């Protein structure tokens, strides 16, 4: 079909119409099929600025065009009267005419008018267009890469806004939980600053960045208060005779504060244990492997150490500290933690507990039922999931308790969850 693009004299020519006519007369037409162009046009409809009626008209015109007309250097032309198009859209003819003009000025269509204004297409025996008068999609084919870029940029903007909204929700909730859980330090000023950020007339991305900066200040204040209390505690009388009225900050408590009457597993006590006790404490999966291999001695050791240790060995099967480190990247980055060993994880439980809004009593009860290692591993997994998908876990503390219940019943697939987090 020849590169002819006519505009009838009854139309008022605008710069947008002239730009579309020049594109329609271009001889450099990329070989882009109908489906690719249609997808790009629909994705870019909002950044281009199409109205709902214009989008509806575009959708109908794309459906009426034949895929073969989009092959090679062909010029796809759709011939349909304004009257019939108005009946399809459910609007008046004047509304349809304005929608078509918007598509033309957006350089998606071009007018190919006949002398009488009628639209029709003539094809040869093989079905190829020889002469056509109607609405030409050549401008959209020529601008395909530009339209696709607009669509990609708009999608990236939507993703950034969505992520910013999640960050605002997650960080604001974390700040409130930290302030509520920290009773010994007055941090109410941070709540006022957070309210000011949320009420500011700025976009959500600016609010997210401001809240992240405020969260860093909160963590610095919490760390400074923790260091002050820790120094005061170390300089005091070791008998604690005069320290009755001193209340320590929660995250300066000993990592063993949540343990029950079982023997603790810190580094000093491990040195005094036998090899068997050491294996049962820091490598609970060993006891499970011995049971699987039929060793009555391994089973007796685990069973003799209490129900919590027995459940712990089942839950921590195939769970190593390296797996926890690779799976829990968000909590290490957001909370400034390091999980290089089990003592590191135990020491971080107070920060993680406050971060998900879990009470000290709730975590202590979990330690009593499952053991420190299992409770800490489940806490790290829950905190990681809450940071990554805050909208999916509305109550991280309740989710932690539910996981502990499943672990008590031997139904918690902790390793599977951690491998899934590491893969993502």
Each residue's pLDDT tens digit, 223-282? 887 777 667 666 654 444 444 444 444 444 444 444 444 433 443 433 333 333 333 333
Taking alpha carbons only, the member of 251, 28, 245 closest to residue 144 is: 28
Q: Distance between CA 29 and CA 38 in Å, rounded? A: 16
φ and ψ at 335, to 5 degrees?
A: -95, -5
Q: What digits encode the pLDDT tens for the residues 148-180?
A: 999 999 999 999 999 999 999 999 998 888 888
Report the percentage of the chain scoring pLDDT > 70: 78
φ and ψ at 393, to 5 degrees?
A: -115, 95
Q: Cβ(158)–Cβ(150) under 8 Å? A: no
Rounded-to-5 percentages of helix, strand, coil across the chain: 65, 5, 35
Q: What would the mean pLDDT of 370-389 be, rounded to a whole number?
A: 90
DSSP letter string, 195-220? HHHHHSSS-HHHHHHHHHHHHHHHHH
* pLDDT the model gives residue 235: 63
Q: 108: burial class by Cβ within 10 Å (0-12, 13-18, 19+)?
A: buried
Report whether pLDDT(399) > 80.
Answer: yes
* pLDDT the model gives residue 152: 94
Q: What digits encode the pLDDT tens for the residues 16-72?
A: 999 999 999 988 888 889 999 999 999 999 999 999 999 999 999 999 999 999 998
Q: Cβ(301)–Cβ(287) under 8 Å? A: yes
* pLDDT the model gives residue 239: 45
Average pLDDT value for the chain: 79
180 C-beta neighbours (distance < 10 Å), count: 12
Report whether pLDDT(330) > 70.
Answer: yes
Angle at 394 between CA 393 and CA 400, to 5 degrees: 60
Report whether pLDDT(317) > 80.
Answer: no
* pLDDT the model gives residue 286: 36
Q: Is 395 or 38 the better-scoring residue by pLDDT? A: 38
* pLDDT the model gives residue 196: 93
* pLDDT the model gives residue 114: 85
Q: Cβ(279)–Cβ(392) under 8 Å? A: no
Q: Cβ(334)–Cβ(212) under 8 Å? A: no
Taking alpha carbons only, the member of 185, 347, 388, 181 closest to residue 256 is: 347
* pLDDT the model gives residue 233: 60
Angle at 230 between CA 269 and CA 232, to 5 degrees: 120
* HSE-CB of 44 using CA atoms within 13 angstroms: 23
Q: Scanning the structure block, which residue is given the tokens 């939980």? A: 177
Distances (CA, A) of 356 to 105, 327, 346, 398: 53, 17, 16, 10
* pLDDT the model gives residue 91: 93
Q: 245: burial class by Cβ within 10 Å (0-12, 13-18, 19+)?
A: exposed
Report whether pLDDT(201) > 70.
Answer: yes
Instruction: Determine the number of helices (DSSP H) and then strands (DSSP E) in the chain.
Output: 23, 4
* pLDDT the model gives residue 336: 79
User: Residue 77 — very low, low, confident or very high, per pLDDT cuts 50/70/90?
Assistant: very high
* pLDDT the model gives residue 328: 92
* pLDDT the model gives residue 76: 92
Q: Cβ(368)–Cβ(337) under 8 Å? A: no
* pLDDT the model gives residue 353: 86
Report the percentage of the chain scoring pLDDT > 90: 39
Distances (CA, A) of 229 to 220, 235, 272, 343, 344: 14, 10, 30, 21, 20
Q: Cβ(130)–Cβ(354) under 8 Å? A: no
* pLDDT the model gives residue 252: 41
């Amino acid at each position: 079909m020849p590169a002819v693009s006519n505009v009838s004299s009854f139309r008022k020519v605008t710069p947008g119409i002239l730009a579309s006519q020049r594109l329609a007369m271009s001889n450099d037409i990329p070989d882009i099929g109908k489906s690719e162009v249609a997808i790009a046009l629909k994705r870019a409809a909002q950044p281009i600025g199409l109205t709902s009626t214009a989008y509806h008209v575009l959708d109908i015109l794309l459906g009426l065009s034949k895929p073969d007309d989009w092959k090679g250097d062909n010029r796809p032309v759709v011939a349909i009267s304004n009257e019939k198009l108005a009946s399809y859209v459910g609007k008046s003819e004047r509304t349809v005419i304005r929608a078509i003009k918007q598509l033309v000025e957006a350089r998606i269509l071009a007018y190919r008018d006949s002398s009488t204004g009628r639209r029709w297409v003539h094809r040869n025996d093989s079905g190829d267009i020889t002469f056509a008068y109607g609405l030409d999609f050549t401008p959209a084919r020529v601008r395909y890469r530009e339209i696709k870029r607009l669509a990609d940029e708009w999608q990236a903007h939507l993703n950034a806004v969505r992520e910013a909204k999640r960050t605002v929700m997650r960080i604001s909730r974390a700040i409130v939980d930290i302030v509520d859980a920290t009773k010994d330090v007055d941090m109410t000023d941070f709540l006022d600053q957070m309210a000011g950020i949320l009420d500011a007339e700025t976009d959500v991305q600016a609010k997210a960045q401001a809240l992240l900066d405020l969260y860093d200040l909160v963590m610095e204040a919490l760390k400074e208060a923790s260091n002050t209390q820790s120094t005061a505690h170390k300089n005091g009388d070791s008998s604690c005779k005069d320290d009755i009225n001193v209340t320590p900050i929660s995250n300066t408590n000993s990592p063993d504060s949540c343990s029950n009457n079982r023997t603790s597993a810190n580094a000093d006590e491990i040195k005094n244990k036998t090899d068997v006790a050491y294996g049962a404490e820091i490598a609970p999966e060993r006891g499970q492997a011995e049971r699987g291999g039929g060793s009555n001695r391994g089973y007796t050791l685990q069973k003799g150490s209490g129900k919590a240790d027995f459940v712990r060995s089942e839950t921590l099967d195939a769970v190593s500290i390296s797996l926890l480190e690779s799976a829990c990247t968000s909590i290490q980055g957001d909370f400034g933690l390091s999980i290089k060993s089990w003592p590191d994880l135990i020491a971080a439980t107070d920060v993680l507990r406050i971060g998900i809004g879990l009470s000290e009593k709730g975590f202590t009860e979990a330690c009593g039922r499952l053991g420190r290692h299992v409770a800490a591993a489940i806490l790290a997994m829950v905190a990681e999931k809450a940071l990554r998908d805050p909208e999916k876990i509305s109550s991280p503390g309740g989710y932690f308790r539910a996981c502990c219940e499943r672990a008590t019943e031997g139904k918690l697939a902790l390793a599977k969850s951690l491998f899934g987090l590491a893969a993502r």
